[in-house]
Structure 1
Amino acid sequence: MARTDGDTWDLASSVGATATAVAALRAMASQGPDAALDDPWADPLVRAVGIESFVKLVDGERSETTDSLVTPQSMTEQMVVRTRFFDDFFTTGVAPPTTSGQATASGVRQAVILASGLDTRAYRLPWPAGTVVYEIDQPDVIEFKTRTLEGLGAKPTGQRRTIAIDLREDWPSALIDAGFVTSLPTAWSAEGLLAYLPPEAQDRLFDSITDLSAPGSRVACEYVDMSGLPSDWAEQLTERSQRMGATVNLAELIYTGERNDAADYLKALGWQVGILGASEAHTSNGFEPPDDDMVAFGANYGYLSATLK
């Protein structure tokens, strides 16, 4: 179903189902003795949501594909790269050139995970003592994940605080009401989010982040140079994902209109921006760079991190 103003979802529908798809890939990457990721909560969360196609992916019952560039291995490797980037951004991993990621290693003790979905970083990252981790998402999403993880006996490793609100509403006020301190530097993540926002909502998101951020704050998101994409890129992504057995129609969920370049927009707001290209990110993780425009979005796809000076 196509997006509408004010639409809502849970983790089995619309945009929420994409969060479950991402968790399924993290679960796959966390399997086996030589697992590339360590996310013990991804698998049970995917099973609790109960989307059959994603449970089959986790169980290894994957659709046959003749597309050698989009295989379970290639999709899992991309998720490993993406997950490690955001993990490292929050903790002490390798930061992109020209920026200082490694937020908590630099003394940041306040983190905000926007559109948190089935993100489990509040439960699995080694947050320093005193770190407050805010998660913002739709009420049904927040309620389901919190209830499910409590049932599994999971305990947050930081001070987790949830804000059950749509990002199209007044989430900054809700965040402050939950205890957010605007005078403290903050680490913000917008993983897998921007394409699901209308262009003007993306600008408002960055404006709000800037208004709420003290000097030394950091922000991270995926970066795509939209000018380099084919006109039917959303349809191609949908076709590729469905070859893997997914039933989500990404073309109906993504906003494809012209939008401001995230890097340029943040620079204009006073952020020092760096971009880690997809090929470099894959190579630094020991993987072959993706050799396909719709997998890598060409040369102008990667991961953005920025610091507010």
Structure 2
Amino acid sequence: MVLNGVGGTSLGVARARAWETRRPDRLFDDPYAAAFVAAGGPGGSGSRTPLPPARARLAFHVIIRTRFYDDFLLAACDSGCRQVVLLAAGLDTRAYRLPWPSAVTLYELDLPEVLAFKDRVLASAGAEPRCARTAVPVDLRDDWPRQLTDAGFNASAPTAWLLEGLLVYLSAEDADQVLSRVGALSTPGSRISFERNNAASVIAEEDRSGIEEYAELWQGGVSDTTGRLDGYGWQTEVHELADVAALYDRPAPSSSLSGFITATR
């Protein structure tokens, strides 16, 4: 199986996570990332060679956001959320690698071919989820709330939502629709997180050489993400990338900008 287009970008994310996992001072351990990279076919080597500057900045962002979102989701569960929804889950393995509390159900939404590739690799690795995991094959431009509900999602229960690396690949109209739908499905106590100001495109403003395969797929997303969430009844907080990285003892390159949004209903 081959992943192309937006689905193929998840292999680049897996590659960055595989690099980080091999570090003795790693911020997280993703034992399946290298298997995804290897299954990606020619050019999928997980070896770390010198990267073009833009690609290095993007990899840095992926590594920091992975740990940040790990912490966000576990904190949301500690606050009472027992449903976790990953929109555009890609090759995420949090269902398999995080220490979830009891009774957590995690829903992964993504394109059918992405989830099929992922499930095949995880099955070959003998991976077992550490929480109840439900995969929902869907295009997020379609009626995904109905399909999520049909899969067992309960809109009356507090939910932790993660939109990791998603919005920049959507048009402003589609991105706004996703945020509106999440709001309609979120009861008080729910939480959400995603990148601020389309971090990927901000990182690449100086130079896109080496990340052309990603940049050509970016559609802009929503620019005023904080304002959008406030309008949908969320209380938002901004986390600068450099500040987050410093908390993890990883000084950010001076050219790394943007950060993350977290919000609570």
Provide TM-score, normalisation by structure 2.
Answer: 0.92
1:81-135 CA deviation, whole Å, 9 max, x = no partner?
Answer: 11111000111xxxxxxxxxx1011111000000001000011111111100000
1:194 is matched with 167
> Letter of the aligned partner of 1:302 in structure 2?
G
**Identity over aligned residues, as a percent?**
38
Instruction: Give structure 1 stretches of 5+ with no counterpart.
Output: 1-9, 92-101
Residue 249 in structure 1 maps to residue 213 in structure 2: yes
Return the alpha-carbon distance in structure 2 between the equivalents of residues 192 and 229 of structure 1. 13
Return the alpha-carbon distance in structure 2 between the equivalents of residues 251 and 35 of structure 1. 27
| 1:146 to partner: Cα distance | 1.1
- What SS does structure 2 have at the residue aligned with 1:275? strand
For the Cα contact (< 8 Å) 1:12–1:50, is it kept in 2?
A: no
Return the alpha-carbon distance in structure 1 between the equivalents of residues 120 and 155 of structure 2. 29
1:27-80 CA deviation, whole Å, 9 max, x = no partner?
Answer: 00000443332100101111112251x41xx223x2565x5xx575x6554333
- What SS does structure 1 have at the residue aligned with 2:216? helix
Return the alpha-carbon distance in structure 1 between the equivalents of residues 243 and 202 of structure 2. 20
1:156 to 129, 152, 156: 129
For the Cα contact (< 8 Å) 1:11–1:19, is it kept in 2?
A: no
The structure with more radius of gyration: 1
1:306 is matched with 263
1:188-217 CA deviation, whole Å, 9 max, x = no partner?
Answer: 000000100110011100110011111110
> Letter of the aligned partner of 2:164 in structure 1?
E
Return the alpha-carbon distance in structure 2 between the equivalents of residues 45 and 289 of structure 1. 27
2:208 to 238, 247, 272: 238
1:270 is matched with 233
Return the alpha-carbon distance in structure 2 between the equivalents of residues 64 and 33 of structure 1. 20
Return the alpha-carbon distance in structure 2 between the equivalents of residues 35 and 277 of structure 1. 21
Moved more, 217-226 or 149-158: 217-226
* Runs of 4+, deviation exceeding 6 Å: none
2:189 is matched with 216
For the Cα contact (< 8 Å) 1:238–1:250, is it kept in 2?
A: no
Q: State the Cα RMSD in Å.
A: 2.3
Q: How many residues align?
A: 264
| 1:136 to partner: Cα distance | 0.1
Return the alpha-carbon distance in structure 1 between the equivalents of residues 58 and 77 of structure 2. 29
Residue 261 in structure 1 maps to residue 234 in structure 2: no
Distance change (3 Å), C-alpha of 1:213 and 1:290: same
Instruction: Give structure 2 stretches of 5+ with no counterpart.
Output: none
| 1:225 to partner: Cα distance | 7.1
1:38 is matched with 29
- What SS does structure 1 have at the residue aligned with 2:81? coil
- What SS does structure 2 have at the residue aligned with 1:87? helix
1:86 is matched with 69
Return the alpha-carbon distance in structure 1 between the equivalents of residues 230 and 10 of structure 2. 29
Residue 25 in structure 1 maps to residue 16 in structure 2: yes
For the Cα contact (< 8 Å) 1:225–1:261, is it kept in 2?
A: no
1:237-270 CA deviation, whole Å, 9 max, x = no partner?
Answer: 531xx1xxx6x5223200138x451110000110
Please list, as runs of the form range in 1=range in 2, the aligned pairs for 1:276-295 lying within 5 A after superposition: 276-292=239-255, 295=256
Return the alpha-carbon distance in structure 1 between the equivalents of residues 87 and 220 of structure 2. 20
For the Cα contact (< 8 Å) 2:241–2:252, is it kept in 1?
A: yes
Moved more, 192-201 or 217-226: 217-226
Return the alpha-carbon distance in structure 1 between the equivalents of residues 155 and 172 of structure 2. 26
1:59 to 47, 53, 56: 47
1:6 is matched with none
Provide TM-score, normalisation by structure 1.
Answer: 0.79
